[in-house]
Structure 1
Amino acid sequence: MPMTPRRYTTWSGSLAVIALMAGLCLSLPARAADNAQALRDKYQTVAPQLADNVFHRPLVLESTEAPERLKSDIYSVLDYPFAAVKSALGDPEHGASNWCDVLILHLNIKYCHATQGTDGSVLNVNLGRKVEDSLSSSYRLEFGYHPVVSNADYFRVELSAASGPLSTRDYHIMLEAIPAPGAGNHTFLHLTYAYGYGAAGRLAMRTYLATVGSGKVGFTKTAESSSGGDPEYVGGVRGLLERNTMRYYLAIDAYLKSLSAPADKRLQQRLNTWFSATEQYPRQLHEIERQDYLQMKHHEIERQQTAQ
């Protein structure tokens, strides 16, 4: 029977949908393979820096500042098997809750609780000051948790929030990893932390950097000292970004390291591990004393056990 125009339109539309879905199914593995290869290529590029750097650990930090966006990347070799890292941070079912255990180690994260939303897991995260404070004095962000790819030799997780305090927006945390090439039972990790900001955010950052944050620096050297003292480091909003990216990275490392301890010892171990790691870089990361940090975080972690 000849096909009527209406039937032809429906049939051709269905073919288009099928073709699109087939294209998506083919493109996702292709993109994962491309991303994995790009990360392997990056490893070869940064291998000399991983072996010799100012961090005294296999780590490379890069950052960029655009007129309305900040972005920082950390590349590092971790002393944990790839399968263990993927299971802890890229698991579709439990990864969101594990990420809350990571994020809460950061001084400015006052609360994190994972819930199930209509489009997947959501991390309800409160940002606040580096001292113990009420949730009412902090700002709530909703991070969507997206385990994008998870296969035998590559995984990628993305956390995104549309808006934040003081006109900041498009928060993006991305973690991808591969087995470290030629490095035995290790993992090569890439962490991205980025966000955009408008006029209010720019003004707030300038105010912070002119007052409480004055004199604070990041990790990128801008000049060597001419008098044999400490080198000069990047300041301003790039310095702020680099400090926070480093704190998130150290939180990931502290969380993974704690997994080898008995379950009832893990919390205390990761708190002490994170604080000790930040104290290796006092010029950039020292803010409060260990006992004050431990007391504050125990209270915050107790608070985050229930939805608020």
Structure 2
Amino acid sequence: MRRSLPGGAGGFQWLRATVLLALLIAAPVYAQDPESLKARHAALAEQLSDNPFQRPLHLESRQTGDTLQGDIYAVIEQPYAVVGTALQGSTHWCDILILHLNVKSCRVSSAPAGEVLRLHIGRKFEQALAEAHLFEFAYRVTTATPEFLQVLLDAPDGPLGTSRYRIKLEAVALDDRRSFLHLSYSYAYGLAARVATQSYLATLGRNKVGFSIVARNAEGQPVYIDGMRGVIERNTMRYYLAIEAYLNSLAEPPATRLEKRLNLWHSAVEQYPAQLHELERDQYLAIKREEIRRQQADAASE
């Protein structure tokens, strides 16, 4: 027998509470203070110490409704005094994001509500900016204390009807020499983006996989997630490795930091060839050097 909902105003309140609870369960949880992020570090102790990434790192992904999200949690062998400063500042983020092979340019501009990162995102090969997609990420440092940092980058729109792009970075001090980072990357998509992605995955991207292991084959080898969750996992990892390369280049003299982080990023992605291999080192370096030269020339001409 079908049960009816409680009637009247009480029924409405019950339904609203049920919907709210469902949204809270489905929604990603972010730390709002250092204690929450430290608790997440403790909860992931096993995953951080035993994983296939060759570093203390844990990756999660989810596809809910019209949204894709990837999350990476990682321990960085850098004190928070370094990490917390380095990961603030819009220009620092342009230095990070340009390492991603699909980011063709990153410029900082001012808007009434604050700073905006203007990113051109396109193909992996050399490409005119007019042929790439422009994203405007509002940049905000929502929390910055001597122990905890939270940075948000939000873009309302993207190509093919995609929307609600968000990059969120949280960092907390673990001890005098280590920090714990949480990077989240998400966006919403519609029918056009779903069709375009599925077309790509059926042709050029048919052999592309993510990192999550969904099964084992007859030989006991891992079978990795594919499809749209594979896409979000690959890009989340690329952005995380850009952060790691940037941080690990800071010990270099300023004149050599760019080359150091470019080489560090390429070396890092090549540790995961099944997921991330796209370009040989010489190809990647040549393209990035030209993109950064173009970016610097454009800035100087203003």
Q: TM-score range by the shorter chain?
A: 0.7 to 0.9
Aligned partner of residue 184 in structure 2, secondary structure: strand
Aligned equivalent of 1:166: 160
Aligned partner of residue 53 in structure 2, secondary structure: coil
Aligned partner of residue 292 in structure 2, secondary structure: helix
TM-aligned CA deviation for residue 35 of structure 1: 3.0
2:98 to 95, 104, 112: 104
Aligned equivalent of 1:246: 237
Gaps of 5+ in 1: 1-31
1:189 to 181, 191, 195: 181
What is the correspondence of 1:1-308 to structure 2 with a 5 Å cutoff? 34-90=32-88, 95-180=89-174, 183-228=175-220, 230-305=221-296, 306-307=298-299
Aligned partner of residue 304 in structure 1, secondary structure: helix
CA gap of 1:204–1:221, structure 2 versus 1, over 3 A, is same
Aligned partner of residue 52 in structure 2, secondary structure: coil
TM-aligned CA deviation for residue 34 of structure 1: 4.7
**1:205, 1:35 → 2: CA distance?**
36
The letter of the residue matching 1:176 is E
TM-aligned CA deviation for residue 67 of structure 1: 2.4
TM-aligned CA deviation for residue 179 of structure 1: 0.6
After superposition, the C-alpha distances for 1:44-90 in whole angstroms (9 at most, x for unaligned) are 10011111100010000000011200011000000111011111112
**1:256, 1:115 → 2: CA distance?**
24
Aligned equivalent of 1:5: none
CA RMSD of superposed structures (Å): 1.4
Gaps of 5+ in 2: 1-29
TM-aligned CA deviation for residue 42 of structure 1: 0.5
Aligned equivalent of 2:20: none
**2:32, 2:152 → 1: CA distance?**
17
Task: Say which is worse superposed, 281-290 or 34-43, in terms of deviation.
Answer: 34-43
TM-score norm. by structure 2 comes to 0.87
**1:227, 1:158 → 2: CA distance?**
43
CA gap of 1:34–1:89, structure 2 versus 1, over 3 A, is closer
After superposition, the C-alpha distances for 1:119-168 in whole angstroms (9 at most, x for unaligned) are 11110001100111111110000000000000011110000000001111
TM-aligned CA deviation for residue 36 of structure 1: 2.1
Q: Identity of aligned pairs, percent?
A: 48
Moved over 4 A (4+): none
**2:31, 2:132 → 1: CA distance?**
40
**2:61, 2:34 → 1: CA distance?**
21
**1:167, 1:79 → 2: CA distance?**
39
**1:198, 1:98 → 2: CA distance?**
32
The letter of the residue matching 1:223 is A
After superposition, the C-alpha distances for 1:8-55 in whole angstroms (9 at most, x for unaligned) are xxxxxxxxxxxxxxxxxxxxxxxx995322211101100111111000
**1:154, 1:107 → 2: CA distance?**
29
The letter of the residue matching 2:258 is L
**1:171, 1:291 → 2: CA distance?**
31
CA gap of 1:33–1:51, structure 2 versus 1, over 3 A, is closer
Q: Is the 8 A contact 2:80 2:177 kept in 1?
A: yes
TM-aligned CA deviation for residue 117 of structure 1: 1.4
TM-aligned CA deviation for residue 254 of structure 1: 0.3
The letter of the residue matching 1:292 is Q
**2:31, 2:61 → 1: CA distance?**
25
TM-score norm. by structure 1 comes to 0.85
The letter of the residue matching 1:164 is G
Q: Is the 8 A contact 2:31 2:37 kept in 1?
A: no
After superposition, the C-alpha distances for 1:171-216 in whole angstroms (9 at most, x for unaligned) are 0000001112xx5411000000000011111111111111111110
**1:68, 1:60 → 2: CA distance?**
24
